[in-house]
Each structure stands twice: as C-alpha cells, then as structure tokens.
C-alpha cells in the first residue's frame, strides 16, 4: 500500500455542519495544543444540511415557556420513544447554546420591537419558541461558525470523503478513518486519537428529498460496516411541504418551511378545498408525520394538482408580512415560477430527516473506543418524530458536548492505535471494485432505488410492501456491484463517487427496511397500514439494527422512562 498517504491528527471531525464545527471550536477552546482537523465532503461552510436550515432553533426563552414544556413537547412529539435523558440534555442545552451563538460567535437572530428575541410558531409545539433569522437561519449559523473555525488554526481536509472506519489491530478501538481526496482520487489514511462522526444523515434514497446531493448516509453506512448498533432506523421524517416543480429539476423536494403553516398557510387539495381538519384537530399545524400522511392520502385518492401534489396557499394572509417574514421562501418560489404570496404553490411530502442513527451516550461516546458521535448521525434524541426546530438545536447542543468530551478524554485516555492493515486493504478493494468493470447505467439504479423506497418503504408501509423492498434492495446491491465506472482519471471522478454514494444509500435503506419490518405498530414517522395502532405507550420499545455479515439483525429494546411516565407530565398543574 505504498500509494496510501498517511497523516496524523489528535482529533478528526467528520462533517462541517453545526455538530462538527461546534465540536471543533469547543475542543480548541478547552485544549488549544491539540491538533484538530475537520474533514468535509465538500467545502467547509458551503455544504451540508445545517446551512440549509430555514425555519429556526427551538429553545425555551420566554417567561411563559419552560424547559419542562419544551421537553414534554419533544417527548409527546416523539411518541414516547425518545431517550429521555438525551431529550432533556437537548432542551436544557439549547438555552446555553443559543446564547453562545449570539454572545460569543456573532449570530444575530430576529428581534421584537422591545429588543427581545423573536420566536415564531412551529407545528407540534404548545408554545411559540422557534428562534430564527428570517427563513435563512442555517446560513446565519454556519457563516458565523465557519468564520470562527477559520480564525482558530483548525486544520481542514476539504473535498475529502470518509469511506471506512479502521479499527486497531485487535479490533478493540478506533485507529482512524480511510478517506479519498476527491480532488485527486488518492486514498488517505488519517490516524486519530479521537474521531467525531458528524456527517449528518440525508435520506436521499427517496424520490422526493430535501438534503443536498452529497448527503448519502455515509456515516451511518460506515457505522453499520464497523458493527455499531443503530436505533430507530424506521423513523424517517417526511417534511409535508416540499416544493413540487416537476421531475426535471432538483428544486423539486426543496422545503417550504414549517413556519409558513405556523403563520397560517392553508393546505388545499386539487379541488381547492382544505383537507387537514378531517385528519387532525390542529389542522395544518399538526406534526409533520400526520400532515405528510394526510397529503399522501389525498394524493392516492387523486385529489391533486397538475404535477401530482397538493397546494400550499397564503393568499388569505397579509401579503406584505408574508414577504417580510419569508423573504427567502418567496424568492425561491418566484425563481421556480410560483407566487407564494397570492397564488398557490404545489407541494409534496419530501424525505427530510432521519430520527434514527448510531446509539450514543449523553457525553457523545459510542460503543467503539475513540469514536464519538453527534447530530443527525445519532439516534435516540427525537424518538419517532422530530419537532421542527429541534434539529439544529440537536446538532449544536451535542456538537458542543462532543467537543467538551473529546477535549477531556484525549489527554487522559486517547492514544494512536496502529491500524488493522487487512481492514484497510478490504476497504480499498470495496472502493476500487467498480474501477475494474465496464461502465453501466448508475442512473437506472438510482431511479429504481427512488421507486422502491418511495412506494414500498416510505410514508405508508405494510408487510407485503416491506418484503418487496427487502428483495428489491438486495437485487439493486447485486446489480450495482456488476456496474463499473471509468477508472482512468480519478480526480473529481464524480461517477465513481456516485457509485459509492449508491452503495451507502442501498445499505442504509436495507437497515430502514429491516427496522420497519420489526416494528409491528405505528408510531410517529413509521406507519404500518397493517398495524395502524400505536400499542400501549407504557410498553414502548425502540428498534435496534446491527449488521452481522451481510445480514441485518434487529432486536427490540424497552424504552427507559427516566424522567416521566406515559400519562404523566413534568408541567405544573
């Protein structure tokens, strides 16, 4: 392996979203002498999901709000499947982190006339607690975090994709990460004392999806291959209102943020009539899972617009206020030929977020020594359904905690482990597999994956559809292995990387399907048409998936109600 470049860093952070950048800053603040390297699949500050956050950041700040109320909304929204200690860490940590964002890192969020932070309504919450910067909150956060990272001597590996966790020679700890420099096509092994997994999720295996194209569940796929357990993988959140602009544009699936419905937007069927009241008493402000299923039902019944979706309408609201509060949304719709202010915009449920991920502790440690995890790569915080506005809070809260934990752990316990060279060779073989085969039609594989996951493992599932998905995914994996790509120049060889993207997406899709088969009830984002009841909340259990060989093994684990029992509340009265 003479062609394998090798470098060392005390701390390697995979991902440059809210979790990764916060962790980097916290490590450097606590331990300035540690070398910290952020590796990102694209450009730091210009890619990832945090930058795409529109709506805002949930945090209990108002005198009439409380952490207990935020916690109960999170638990009830998660249908009692949340790890309650993680959820409590989220709601309490958000209060500290939002002040850090403004007072230390330079973010500036929208204000009321009296100078207090403005908080808007988001669905599924009993209080208006979503802090925001117009509808471009993520850009504000990532711009400020990036500026701070650039100014602190933190190393960067941009255009580097992580392809495999490499364990120590005895398999008991993490040695480092095998990566590819996308700019040259060269492999690079990065040895580290501690690694933070913060690549984000990205359910881009569905026909309609919101994340950017580089989000292909790489971290989750690496975790599965490394033998780590993942929980709640059946819980894939569909945002109810993805822009539907036609099949020939990537703008389709882009989120029209939840604040629109919180402000009072209506959902209309193809017949021009509202339909949410027949699905939930909260109407358009019901949680994302309920609204997505309602839209999906209208679509199946044929109550649709010309592109196959339903309509979002704000024409009954104050147009000037809509333009002021949702400037980004208005402009985005106008770019696609739609008038959000006074017209109707066609929308469709779009795969948005994965509640499931690697099992981890409140200090962000995982079961693999040396590996920490934070953000959308992890499971347990949100349970069966994430409240809008809790996502960026999750990434920044646990990113900061991960940085603090790593800064404490590395000087005390961290060490450079020699890697398992056979594991490196095996990972190299997997990546090089398509380079020795004749080029094939990757786009056909992608479209088949879209169809399988949307139709058979999407918003509504049953035993028959999930079995179809299981069989089809195995077939897709075999077909992908038979397809090659041009192996000449590997510099920016996007076809090669697309093959690896699909390999990871298919693997994670298999985990989603296996978990969905195992859960024979309906909770939150997971709806089984053949098991529509939620089952007794007191007997709540989460689903764990582990990869053994080439098989996905599942087990059910009872939820520990460490703070509140179903039927109880932390609220006074």
88-106 confidence digits (pLDDT tens): 999 999 999 999 999 999 9
Report, as an integer, the average pLDDT of 520-532.
Answer: 97
Residue 369 has pLDDT above 80, yes or no: yes
| Structure tokens, 32 | 């300035």
Span 373-384, average pLDDT: 97
Residues 102-151: tens digit of each pLDDT:
999 999 999 999 999 999 988 889 999 999 998 889 999 999 999 999 99
Alpha carbon separation from 184 to 141, 258, 295, 491 (Å, rounded)? 31, 41, 45, 4
Cα angle value 456/458/462 (rounded, 5°): 50
Residue 188 phi, psi (nearest 5): -140, 130
Q: Hey, is 455 helix, strand or coil?
A: helix
In 3-state terms, what secondary structure has residue 559?
Answer: coil
345: closest CA among 266, 278, 280?
266
Q: How confident is the model at residue 571 (pLDDT cuts 50, 70, 90)?
A: confident
pLDDT of 160 higher than 60 = yes
Alpha-carbon span 58 to 316, nearest angstrom: 27
Q: Report which of 176, 201, 160 is spatially closest to residue 427, judged by C-alpha positions.
A: 176
Q: Which two tokens stand for residue 342?
A: 């006074």
Residue by residue, DSSP assigns 398-428 as HHHHHHHHHHHHHHHH---PPB-HHHHHHHH
Query: Backbone phi, then psi, for 551, in 5-degree steps?
Result: -105, 150
CA–CA distance, 401 with 196 (Å, rounded to integer) = 11
High-pLDDT (> 90) share of the chain, %: 88
Please indicate, yes or no, whether the overall pTM of this predicted structure exceeds 0.75: yes
CA distances to 113, 289, 511 from 352, in Å: 34, 11, 17
3-state secondary structure of 215: coil
Give the pLDDT score at 443: 95
Indicate which residue of 160, 207, 231, 239 is catalytic.
Answer: 239
Question: Three-class SS of residue 313?
Answer: strand
User: What's the rounded Cα separation, in Å, for the pair 511 and 545?
Assistant: 7
Average pLDDT value over all residues in the chain: 95
Q: Which residues of 275-286 are buried (b: 16+ CB within 10 A; e: fewer)?
A: bbeebeeebbbb
Q: For residue 93, with 0-12 CB atoms within 10 Å meaning exposed, 13-18 middle and 19 or more buried, which class applies?
A: buried
Please state the rounded mean pLDDT for residues 300-323: 95
Given this model, what pLDDT does residue 190 score? 98
What band does 1 get if pLDDT is binned at 50, 70 and 90?
A: very low
**327-366 confidence digits (pLDDT tens):** 888 998 999 899 999 999 999 999 999 999 999 999 999 9
Longest dimension (CA), the chain: 70
Q: Is 152 a catalytic residue?
A: no
Q: How far apart are CA 375 and CA 91, in angstroms?
A: 14
Which one from 144, 161, 261, 285 is the annotated catalytic residue? 261
- What span, in angstroms and rounded, lies between the C-alpha atoms of 382 and 82? 5
C-alpha 348/C-alpha 484 separation (Å) is 34
Residue 331 tokens read as 């402009």
Based on the residue annotation, tell me whether 261 is a catalytic residue of this protein.
yes
pLDDT in the model for residue 269: 97
Q: Quick: pLDDT tens for 223-245.
A: 999 999 999 999 999 999 999 98
pLDDT at 573 over 70: no
CB 214 within 8 A of CB 420: no
Q: Which helix (H) or strand (E) holds 153?
A: none
Burial class (CB in 10 A: 0-12, 13-18, 19+), 92: middle
| pLDDT for 488 | 79
Please report the domains of the chain, with CATH numbers, ordered by start residue: 5-58+133-235+355-421 (3.50.50.60), 242-352 (3.90.700.10), 428-533 (1.20.58.100)
Least Cα distance to 176 among 403, 5, 30, 31 occurs for: 5
**Residue range 534-553, pLDDT digits in tens:** 999 999 999 999 999 999 99
The 10s digit of each residue's pLDDT in 161-214 is 999 999 999 999 999 999 999 999 999 999 999 999 999 988 999 999 999 888
Indicate whether 486 pLDDT > 80.
no
- pLDDT at residue 72, rounded to an integer: 97
How far apart are alpha carbons 131 and 163 in whole angstroms? 36
Joined together, the tokens standing for residue 329 give 């949304």
What confidence category does residue 54 fall into, taking pLDDT thresholds of 50, 70 and 90? confident
Using CA atoms, how far apart are residues 315 and 286, in angstroms rounded to an integer? 21
pLDDT (tens digit per residue) in 246-285: 877 878 888 898 889 989 999 999 999 999 999 999 999 9
């Amino acid at each position: 392996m003479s062609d394998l470049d090798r470098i060392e860093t005390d701390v390697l952070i995979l991902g440059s979203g809210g979790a990764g950048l916060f962790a980097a800053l916290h490590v450097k603040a606590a331990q300035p002498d540690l070398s910290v390297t952020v590796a990102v699949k694209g450009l730091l500050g210009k890619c990832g999901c945090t930058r795409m956050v529109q709506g805002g950041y949930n945090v209990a700040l108002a005198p009439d709000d409380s952490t207990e109320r935020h916690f109960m909304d999170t638990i009830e929204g998660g249908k009692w499947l949340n790890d309650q200690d993680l959820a409590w860490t989220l709601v309490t940590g958000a209060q500290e982190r939002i002040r850090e964002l403004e007072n230390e890192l330079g973010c500036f969020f929208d204000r009321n006339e009296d100078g207090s932070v403005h908080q808007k309504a988001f669905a599924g919450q009993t209080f208006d607690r979503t802090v925001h910067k117009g509808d471009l909150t993520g850009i504000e956060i990532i711009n400020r975090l990036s500026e701070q990272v650039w100014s602190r001597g933190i190393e960067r590996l941009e255009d580097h994709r992580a392809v495999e966790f490499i364990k120590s020679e005895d398999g008991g700890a993490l040695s480092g990460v095998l990566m590819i420099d996308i700019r040259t096509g060269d492999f690079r092994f990065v040895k580290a004392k501690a690694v933070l997994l913060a690549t984000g999720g990205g359910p881009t295996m569905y026909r309609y999806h919101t994340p950017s194209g580089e989000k292909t569940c790489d971290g989750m796929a690496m975790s599965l291959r490394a033998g780590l357990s993942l929980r709640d993988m059946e819980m894939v959140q569909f945002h109810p209102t993805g822009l539907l602009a036609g099949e020939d544009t990537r703008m389709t699936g882009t989120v029209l943020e939840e604040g629109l419905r919180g402000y009072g937007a209506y959902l209309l069927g193809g017949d021009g009539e509202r339909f949410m009241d027949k699905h939930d008493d909260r109407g358009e402000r019901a949680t994302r899972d309920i609204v997505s299923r309602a839209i999906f039902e209208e679509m199946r019944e044929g109550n649709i617009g010309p592109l196959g979706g339903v309509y979002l309408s704000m024409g009954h609201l104050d147009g000037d206020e809509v333009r002021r509060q949702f400037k980004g949304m208005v402009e985005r719709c106008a770019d696609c030929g739609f008038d959000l202010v006074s017209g109707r915009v066609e929308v469709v449920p779009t795969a948005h977020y994965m509640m499931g991920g690697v099992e981890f502790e409140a200090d962000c440690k995982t079961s693999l020594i040396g590996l920490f995890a934070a953000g959308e790569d992890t499971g347990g915080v949100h349970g069966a359904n994430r409240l809008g506005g809790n996502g960026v809070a999750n990434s920044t809260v646990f990113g900061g905690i991960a940085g603090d934990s790593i800064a404490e752990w590395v000087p005390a316990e961290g060490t450079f482990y020699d890697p398992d060279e056979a594991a490196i060779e095996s990972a190299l073989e997997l990546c090089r597999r398509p380079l020795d085969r004749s080029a094939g039609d990757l786009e056909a594989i992608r479209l088949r994956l879209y169809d399988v996951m949307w139709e058979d493992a999407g918003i509504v599932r049953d035993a028959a559809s999930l079995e179809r998905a299981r069989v089809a995914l195995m077939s897709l994996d075999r077909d992908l292995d038979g397809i090659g790509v041009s192996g000449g120049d590997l510099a920016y060889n996007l076809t090669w990387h697309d093959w690896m993207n699909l390999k990871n997406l298919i693997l994670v899709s298999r985990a989603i399907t296996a978990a969905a088969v195992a859960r024979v009830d309906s909770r939150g984002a997971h709806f089984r048409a053949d098991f529509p009841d939620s089952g007794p909340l007191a007997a709540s259990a989460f689903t764990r998936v582990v990869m053994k060989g080439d098989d996905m093994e599942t087990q059910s684990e009872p939820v520990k109600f460490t703070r509140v029992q179903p039927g109880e509340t932390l609220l006074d009265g």
